[in-house]
Amino acid sequence: MGVNIKPLSDRVLVEPMAAETKTASGLYIPETAKEKPQQGKVVAVGSGKKDHEMTVKVGDTVLYGKYSGTELKLEGTDYLMMREDDILAII
Amino acid sequence: MGVNIKPLSDRVLVEPMAAETKTASGLYIPETAKEKPQQGKVVAVGSGKKDHEMTVKVGDTVLYGKYSGTELKLEGTDYLMMREDDILAII
Amino acid sequence: MGVNIKPLSDRVLVEPMAAETKTASGLYIPETAKEKPQQGKVVAVGSGKKDHEMTVKVGDTVLYGKYSGTELKLEGTDYLMMREDDILAII
Amino acid sequence: MGVNIKPLSDRVLVEPMAAETKTASGLYIPETAKEKPQQGKVVAVGSGKKDHEMTVKVGDTVLYGKYSGTELKLEGTDYLMMREDDILAII
Amino acid sequence: MGVNIKPLSDRVLVEPMAAETKTASGLYIPETAKEKPQQGKVVAVGSGKKDHEMTVKVGDTVLYGKYSGTELKLEGTDYLMMREDDILAII
Amino acid sequence: MGVNIKPLSDRVLVEPMAAETKTASGLYIPETAKEKPQQGKVVAVGSGKKDHEMTVKVGDTVLYGKYSGTELKLEGTDYLMMREDDILAII
Amino acid sequence: MGVNIKPLSDRVLVEPMAAETKTASGLYIPETAKEKPQQGKVVAVGSGKKDHEMTVKVGDTVLYGKYSGTELKLEGTDYLMMREDDILAII
């Protein structure tokens, strides 16, 4: 988890989990949904904006929409950089 | 109702009821309406935003527009994650 | 008028009157108007928003644009759920 | 002028005058203008909005753009319901 | 200059000058410019808005974009009603 | 530099320099850039807006985007009137 | 690094690095990403806006979206002028 990156503003760096993976509470994303939510692990969090205090923390498992964020790759791992507002929920 | 999920911001997790079901007060949604409202049970509620205090509570029965929210599935049950502003009324 | 429904935010539930009906003051809506205003009875009122205090009250007769609101049906009666800003006037 | 109607928010009810009519000061609207301004008499005025105090008063003669407002008819007279911001000037 | 008209909000009534006219300082508008600025005399000024205090005064000569404002005609003279923000400069 | 013109609001009057000219620090604009920045001399500055205090001063050399501003001509010299936000940098 | 340029408002001047370059922490941008992030060195920083205090500093290595900013060339080196909000992260 030692990713050396500082997201700006209200951005969050997320390491996606496989969409088929079931969480402890059994939540998963339906295949047929038009805009399929995804889940991932929060890896880095920006310091927010004047009118937006950050809610998610490093280590949180989060749900987000399928086309949210910009893909990054770090030492072989794929990440997504997104705005916190693209995150639907902490699970 | 023990859904282990924390919606972010002004989002609400709703468990939809069958559209044909009549409520105690007899309210139901017309088949022919162009944008058919739906009803469901509130299962989880976000903590709101700086300028948006949440109104709905877990357990409320709510009406919402047909295409509101993002579908989620949890242990066999379908849910909808939507913003509180997509909810029309508490019934 | 015992409709058991609580509109959210700045929404208003209206029971439409027949468009041809003349009010006491003789006001009616022209057939040829491109966006024909309609009139109805206010049946339920939301609690407003931070920057929007509600003006209409239950029992008010109101005018609104033709395509305003979402249709609901309750025990055989048609209602319209709209935002107060869709209401043109109290008559 | 006893029109029994209360415009909501920053709306104004205007009784249009014939476009060809010259005012006392001789002002009239050119036939060839692409968006022809019109003039009328203010018949009813809303109570404004939090950030919009009303300027026009009942009895004012006002200029407004040609396609402003929604047509209403009251006991044989045509009216226009518009937002105060659609009014260009008091003459 | 005795034009009996009170522009609303942040509007300004301008009497256009011929586009070819050179000002005292020699400023004129190029024929080939895609959006040709124009100049005119300020004839009447609105009282502004909550967040917009008026800058131009009656008698100022101003520059404005070619398609700014709504045409009015008063006793044979053409005027333009525009928002102050459509005025580029006082010359 | 005695241009007798007062830009309104957050506008700036700029006298463009030849795009090929190299500045003292050697900065110039590439020919192939899709939106080529340009440079010029600030000739007149507006007094700003409530939420926008002006930064550039008369005499500053500034960079701005190619299609920024409205062309003006004054005694044989071409000027550009633009909003300060169209200015990229002071060089 | 002695670039003699002062970005306005919330703008940042960035000297792009080759997209294939791996950072110390091994981060690089995938070839196949639709909107490929890029990295560069911050060379000059604006003084911000009323509601936007600057976060990046001269010398920071930053990630940004592929089509962010306006190209500038200074003594043979290519730069990008962008708004800080176009910067995804400091690495």
Is the pLDDT at F74 greater than 60? The verdict is yes
C-alpha closest to that of F91 among G12, G46, G74, G6: G6
**Of E9 and A75, the one with more pLDDT:** E9
> What residue ranges in chain B does DSSP mark as E strands?
6-7, 11-16, 27-28, 38-45, 61-64, 70-74, 77-83, 87-90
Q: Mind listing the pLDDT tens digit for each residue in G33-79?
A: 434 458 999 999 999 998 899 999 999 999 998 789 998 887 778 89
| Alpha-carbon gap, residue E11 to A22, rounded angstroms | 61
Query: Cα separation of C44 and C5, whole Å?
Result: 7
**Structure confidence at residue B24 (pLDDT):** 52
CA-to-CA separations, B3 to A81, B80, C30, F19, in angstroms, rounded? 27, 13, 53, 63
The answer to whether F45 touches F12, Cβ cutoff 8 Å, is: yes
Of residues D36 and C81, more confidently modeled:
C81
Helix (H) or strand (E) holding G26, with range, is none
Tell me, what's the pLDDT at F81?
95
| Range with top average pLDDT, A36-50, E20-34, F33-47 | A36-50
Which has the minimum average pLDDT: A14-18, A52-56, C75-79, F84-88?
Answer: C75-79
Interface residue D69 vs chain C (CB under 8 A): no
Of G72, G67, G55, G83, give the one whose Cα is nearest residue G15: G72
What's the mean per-residue pLDDT of chain F? Answer: 83
- Section E2-23 average pLDDT: 81
Instruction: List strands edge to edge, sheet with A11-16.
Output: B6-7, A87-90, A61-64, A38-45, A11-16, A77-83, A70-74, G27-28
Q: Mean pLDDT throughout E7-20?
A: 88
- For B20, the 3-state DSSP assignment is coil
pLDDT score for G28: 57
Checking if the pLDDT of D30 tops 70, the result is no
CA angle E72, E54, E18 (to 5 degrees): 40
Q: Over 80: is that where the pLDDT of A45 sits? A: yes
- Over 90: is that where the pLDDT of D22 sits? no
Among residues B36, B17, B16, B13, the alpha carbon closest in space to that of B82 is found at B13
- Residues of chain C in contact with residue B87, where contact means CB-CB under 8 angstroms, are 8
Q: For residue E28, is pLDDT > 60? A: no
Residue labelled with tokens 């058919």 = B36
Q: Does G87 touch chain A (CB under 8 A)?
A: yes
pLDDT value of residue B41: 96
| Largest CA-CA distance found in chain F, in angstroms, rounded | 38
- Sheet with strand E70-74: strands edge to edge: D27-28, E70-74, E77-83, E11-16, E38-45, E61-64, E87-90, F6-7
- Provide the pLDDT for residue B21: 46
Q: What percent of chain E has pLDDT over 70?
A: 76
Query: How far is C44 from C35, CA to CA, in rounded Å?
Result: 25
- Which position has the higher pLDDT, E74 or A43? A43
Q: Which of B4-18, E51-65, F9-23 has the lowest mean pLDDT?
A: F9-23
**DSSP 3-state of F75:** coil
Dig out the tokens for A52 from the structure.
Answer: 């937006």
**Phi, psi (rounded to 5 degrees) for C84:** -55, -30
Which of F5, F8, F85 is the mutation pick for testing E, counting most E CBs within 10 A? F8
Looking at residue C37, its pLDDT comes to 58
Averaged confidence pLDDT in chain D: 83
ipTM above 0.90, yes or no: no
Give me the amino acid identity at D74. L
pLDDT the model gives residue E19: 52
At F89 the three-state DSSP class reads: strand
Q: What element of type H or E holds E34?
A: none
Cα F2 to chain center, whole Å?
A: 16
- Distance, in Å, from the CA atom of D44 to the CA atom of D4, rounded to the nearest integer, reads 9
Does residue G88 sit at the A interface (CB-CB below 8 Å)? Answer: yes
Task: Return the closest-CA partner of residue F4 out of F86, F55, F79.
Answer: F79
CA G68 to each of CA B36, B43, D55, F33, G71: distance values in angstroms, whole numbers, following the listed order: 41, 41, 45, 13, 9
The token pair at F40 is 């010029």
What does the pLDDT read at residue F73? Answer: 80
Query: Is residue D44 very low, low, confident or very high in pLDDT (cuts 50, 70, 90)?
Result: very high
Touching partners of G (3+ C-beta pairs < 8 Å): A, F
Span D29-46, average pLDDT: 71
CA-to-CA distance for G40 and F87, rounded, in angstroms? 22
How far does CA G17 lie from the centroid of its chain? 9
The predicted structure's pLDDT at residue F77:
87
Rounded Cα gap, residues B86 and B11, in angstroms: 9
Q: Quick check: helix, strand or coil at residue B22? A: coil
**Which among E29, E84, E89 is the nearest to F6, CB-wise?**
E89
DSSP class per residue in C15-77: EEPPTTPPPTT-EE--TT-TT--EEEEEEEE---BTTB-----TT-EEEE-TT-SEEEEETTE
D 27-56 residues inside an 8 A Cβ radius of E = 27-30, 33, 35, 37, 51-52, 55-56
pLDDT of residue C73: 80
Using the Cβ of B1 and the Cβ atoms of chain A, whether some distance falls under 8 Å is answered with no
pLDDT digits (tens, 9 = 90+) for D50-74: 889 999 999 999 999 878 999 888 7
Length of chain C: 91
Task: Give me the sheet containing C77-83, strands edge to edge.
Answer: B27-28, C70-74, C77-83, C11-16, C38-45, C61-64, C87-90, D6-7
Q: Which domains does chain B have, with CATH numbers?
A: 11-90 (2.30.33.40)
**E abuts F (3+ Cβ pairs < 8 Å):** yes
* pLDDT more than 90, % of chain F: 54
- State yes or no: chains F and B have 3 or more CB pairs below 8 A: no
The percent of residues in chain C predicted with pLDDT above 90, rounded, is: 54
Q: What is the per-residue pLDDT across C37-61, written as a single tens digit (0 to 9) for each?
A: 589 999 999 999 988 999 999 999 9
Nearest to C88 among D8, D50, D73 (CB): D8
User: Which amino acid, residue F25?
Assistant: S
Confidence (pLDDT) at C35: 43
pLDDT at res. C76: 77
Q: Pick the residue with more confidence: E72 or F15? A: F15
Express each pLDDT in F42-51 by its tens digit. Answer: 999 999 998 8
**Record: contact A27-B7, CB cut-off 8 A:** no
Averaged over successive runs of 10 residues, the pLDDT of chain B (91 residues) comes to: 84 84 55 60 95 95 90 84 96 91
User: For residue A24, what pLDDT is reported?
Assistant: 52
Closest CA to A74 of G21, G61, G29: G29
Please state, for a pLDDT cut of 90, what percent of chain A lies above it.
54
Distance CA C90, CA D6 (A): 5
Under DSSP, the state recorded for D58 is T
The per-residue pLDDT for E23 is: 52
The token pair that represents B91 in the structure block: 């019934």
In Å, how far is E75's CA from the nearest CA of chain F? 30
Neighbouring chains of D at 3+ CB pairs within 8 Å?
A: C, E
Average pLDDT, chain A: 83
